[in-house]
Amino acid sequence: MTVDLMPSGAELPAGFAMPAAARIAAAFLLGYRGNTRAAYAADLAHFGRWCAHLDVEVLSCGRAHLDAYVDQQSRDGAAPATIRRRVSAIAGFFSYALDEGLIQRNPAARVRRPSAGDNVQSTGLTPAEAAALIAAAEEHSTRAAVIVLLSLLLGLRVSELCSATVADLSHQRGHRVLTVTRKGGKRQTMAVPPRAAAAIDDYLGGRAEGPLLVTATGRGMDRHAVWRLIRLLAGRAVPHLAHTLHPHDLRHTCATLALDAGATLRDVQDLLGHADPRTTRRYDRARFSLDRSPSHQLAALLS
Identify whether 283 is a catalytic site residue: yes
Identify whether 252 is a catalytic site residue: no
The confidence band for 65, taking pLDDT boundaries of 50, 70 and 90, is very high
Domain boundaries, the chain: 14-99, 127-295
pLDDT recorded at residue 122: 59
Residues of 92-122 as b/e, b for ≥16 C-beta within 10 angstroms?
bbbebbbeeeebeebbbeebebbeeeeebeb
Helix, coil or strand: residue 297: helix
Lowest mean pLDDT among 9-13, 232-236, 276-280, 286-290: 9-13
| E-state strands within the chain | 169-172, 175-181, 187-191
How many residues in total does the chain contain? 303
pLDDT recorded at residue 167: 96
Identify whether 207 is a catalytic site residue: no
DSSP state of 14: G
pLDDT recorded at residue 235: 94
Going by C-beta distance under 8 Å and a sequence separation of 6 or more, which residues neighbour residue 96? 24, 27, 28
pLDDT recorded at residue 234: 94
- Return the percentage of the chain with pLDDT > 70, whole number: 85
User: Residue 161, Cβ neighbours under 10 Å: how many?
Assistant: 23
Identify whether 40 is a catalytic site residue: no
The catalytically annotated residue of 46, 143, 252, 274 is 274
The catalytically annotated residue of 46, 176, 251, 252 is 251
Identify whether 113 is a catalytic site residue: no
Residue range 158-171, pLDDT digits in tens: 989 999 999 999 99
Q: Give the CA distances from residue 215 to residues 144, 210, 232, 298, in Å, rounded to whole numbers and listed in that order.
A: 11, 11, 16, 51
The confidence band for 7, taking pLDDT boundaries of 50, 70 and 90, is very low
Identify whether 274 is a catalytic site residue: yes
Lowest mean pLDDT among 112-126, 140-154, 214-228: 112-126
The catalytically annotated residue of 175, 183, 223, 285 is 183
Positive or negative: CA dihedral 98, 102, 105, 109 = negative
The confidence band for 11, taking pLDDT boundaries of 50, 70 and 90, is very low
The catalytically annotated residue of 86, 157, 282, 287 is 157
Query: For residue 180, what are the β-bridge partners?
Result: 188
The CATH number for 127-295, chosen from 1.10.1740.10, 3.40.50.720, 1.10.443.10, 1.10.1760.20, is 1.10.443.10
Is-contact 56 77, C-beta < 8 A? no
